[in-house]
Amino acid sequence: MTELRSAPVDDDSPSTQDTPHGPAPIAGLSAARRWFALIALAIGGFGIGVTEFVTMGLLPDIAQDLLPDDYALDPEGANATAGLLVSAYALGVVVGAPTIAALAARWSRKRLLIALVTVFVIGNALSALLPSFGFVLAARFASAVPHGAYFGIASLVAASLMGPGNRARGVSFVMGGLAIANVVGVPTGTFLGQAFGWRAAYLFVALIFAVALVAIILTVPFRPGDPTATLRGELSALKRSQVWLTLGVASIGFGGIFAVYTFIAPIVTEVAGLSAEFVPWILVLFGVGMTIGNFVSGWLTDRSVKRSLLVSICSIGIAVLGFALFASTVGGLIVFVFLVGLATGSCGPAIQTRLMDAARDAQSFAAALNHSALNVGNSLGAFLGGVVIAAGLGYLSPAWVGVGLSLIGLTFLLVSFALERRKPL
């Protein structure tokens, strides 16, 4: 475990202002306080991981309950329609992340985190309680609005807590909450949804966020907002070609993952021939891979951001290709679900760190944009996957869409590296 050292520097001093090379370290805190704060931030990431991914494992249950007439006539079509809940969540992230990050740039980061987690509690409670598909669709969109801003701000706070030379490991700690959610939280939510109805899963998520809210209030240190921050200054990140290229890698290359993962429940039952009881265990396997990939990526990114990015995007293409070829067998499903999870986890810290570097003075905005981009990939993958399934090409057809998306993402990355040789970040 990385040792956290502190120096007696006041939070209001100029030395605590972010620099183009990363968030300034938060000084004057004990090591124990820093780790408790990191854990609190990771609990929020854990809740986000559950609310984002639990829908996938319960799509047939949701479709059967909220779209009963459609499900009776065409289960595949109803499942594809229910997949819009995944797209709606992703679009909520895309809209909310840059909007909140830009407009709240002057807020203290702790105050903003508290506000965002409060919205998570309310949005997930509404997802559990609203009666119709249309209302639940709207609630999933609203629940997602704080997602990107939370991860962006929490990543900057975590990087400050860890200090110079360990930024990516701070980011990976927050993202680790999301990864661990896929080992523990998503399978638990899926089990609760299958046993007590899918609405129980969202109530479970609301409870997780309530715990995160209390933990953040008690442990995350206060830092004043930046009074010089302006909307124009935050939006200046969008003038940088490297920011756009990195967003392209995230939004298109990462879409290959969600073209597969959105429809994992029917793939397990209809393609591999396993019973529905195996779905939570397959999700655990995905989560184990994602957790390992996340923490390995944090370590690798602190040594070479470019190398870590290249490994991540190539891993996505290879894993999704293997899934397309072999997931029809139980052995192939097990192996390649794990590898898809490994590739998924490897992306977050590397992309987040590169965006922070590329954006220079607009790091809060860029850090939030990362999650907008990843959820463009989420929405794009889920939508295209639903299109090819609805066209009658089968539940494995989205994996081939995923292969194509990962190749496009790799192209963006290689163009970014070529430009960097001419003009460093």
pLDDT given at position 88: 85
CA–CA distances in Å: residue 403 to residues 138, 217, 230, 254, 340: 31, 43, 40, 10, 12
CA 292 to chain centre: 15
Of 16, 304, 292, which is closest to residue 163 (Cα–Cα)?
16
Q: What mean pLDDT is predicted for residues 11-35?
A: 55
Q: What mean pLDDT is predicted for residues 170-180?
A: 77
- Asked whether residue 93 carries a pLDDT value surpassing 90, the answer given is no
Rounded CA gap, 146 and 211, in Å? 17
Q: pLDDT, tens digit, for every residue of 369-421?
A: 777 777 777 778 878 888 888 888 888 888 899 899 989 989 999 998 888 88
- Averaged pLDDT of the chain: 81
Identify the burial level of 278 via C-beta atoms within 10 angstroms of its C-beta, where 0-12 means exposed, 13-18 middle and 19 or more buried: middle
- Asked whether residue 13 carries a pLDDT value surpassing 50, the answer given is no
pLDDT given at position 20: 46
Q: pLDDT, tens digit, for every residue of 128-162?
A: 988 888 899 999 999 888 987 888 788 778 877 77
- Which of 340 and 96 is assigned the larger pLDDT? 340
Rounded CA gap, 8 and 3, in Å? 17
Sorting pLDDT into bands at 50, 70 and 90, what band is 205? very high
Q: What is the dihedral of CA 290, 368, 201, 188, to 10 degrees?
A: 20
Contact 307, 300 (CB under 8 A): yes
List the structure tokens of 313.
């995007």
Rounded CA gap, 380 and 256, in Å? 9
- Asked whether residue 227 carries a pLDDT value surpassing 70, the answer given is no
Sorting pLDDT into bands at 50, 70 and 90, what band is 98? confident
Choose the weakest-confidence range: 6-15, 242-251, 272-281: 6-15
Pick the CATH number of 28-422 from 1.20.1250.20, 3.40.50.12280, 3.40.50.300, 3.40.50.720: 1.20.1250.20
- Asked whether residue 246 carries a pLDDT value surpassing 70, the answer given is yes
Q: What percent of the chain has pLDDT over 70?
A: 86
- Asked whether residue 109 carries a pLDDT value surpassing 90, the answer given is no
- Asked whether residue 326 carries a pLDDT value surpassing 50, the answer given is yes
- Asked whether residue 34 carries a pLDDT value surpassing 90, the answer given is no
Rounded CA gap, 227 and 36, in Å? 28
HEC string for the chain: CCCCCCCCCCCCCHHHCCECCECCCCCCCCHHHHHHHHHHHHHHHHHHHHHHHHHHHCHHHHHHHHCHHHHHHCHHHHHHHHCHHHHHHHHHHHHHHHHHHHHCCCCCHHHHHHHHHHHHHHHHHHHHHCCCHHHHHHHHHHHHCCHHHHHHHHHHHHHHHHCCCCHHHHHHHHHHHHHHHHHHHHHHHHHHHHHHCCHHHHHHHHHHHHHHHHHHHHHCCCCCCCCCCCHHHHHHHHHCHHHHHHHHHHHHHCHHHHHHHCCHHHHHHHHCCCCHHHHHHHHHHHHHHHHHHHHHHHHHHCCCHHHHHHHHHHHHHHHHHHHHHHCCCHHHHHHHHHHHHHHHHHHHHHHHHHHHHHHCCCHHHHHHHHHHHHHHHHHHHHHHHHHHHHCCCCCCHHHHHHHHHHHHHHHHHHHHHHHHHHCCC
- Asked whether residue 286 carries a pLDDT value surpassing 60, the answer given is yes
pLDDT given at position 15: 39
- Asked whether residue 209 carries a pLDDT value surpassing 60, the answer given is yes
CA–CA distances in Å: residue 106 to residues 5, 117, 170, 263: 28, 18, 23, 40
pLDDT given at position 118: 95
For the whole model, what pTM was predicted? Answer: 0.70
pLDDT given at position 229: 64
Q: What mean pLDDT is predicted for residues 99-127?
A: 86
- Asked whether residue 329 carries a pLDDT value surpassing 80, the answer given is yes
Q: What mean pLDDT is predicted for residues 90-98?
A: 79
CA 266 to chain centre: 22
pLDDT given at position 149: 83
pLDDT given at position 47: 94
Query: CB-based contacts of 138: which residues, under 8 Å, 6+ apart?
Result: 88, 130
Q: What mean pLDDT is predicted for residues 354-362?
A: 74
- Asked whether residue 49 carries a pLDDT value surpassing 60, the answer given is yes
pLDDT given at position 228: 65
Sorting pLDDT into bands at 50, 70 and 90, what band is 199? very high
User: Where exactly are the structural domains of the chain?
Assistant: 28-422
- Asked whether residue 202 carries a pLDDT value surpassing 90, the answer given is yes
Q: What is the amino acid identity at position 360? A: R
Q: Which of the residue ranges 165-179, 245-259, 348-362 has the most confident prediction, judged by mean pLDDT?
A: 245-259
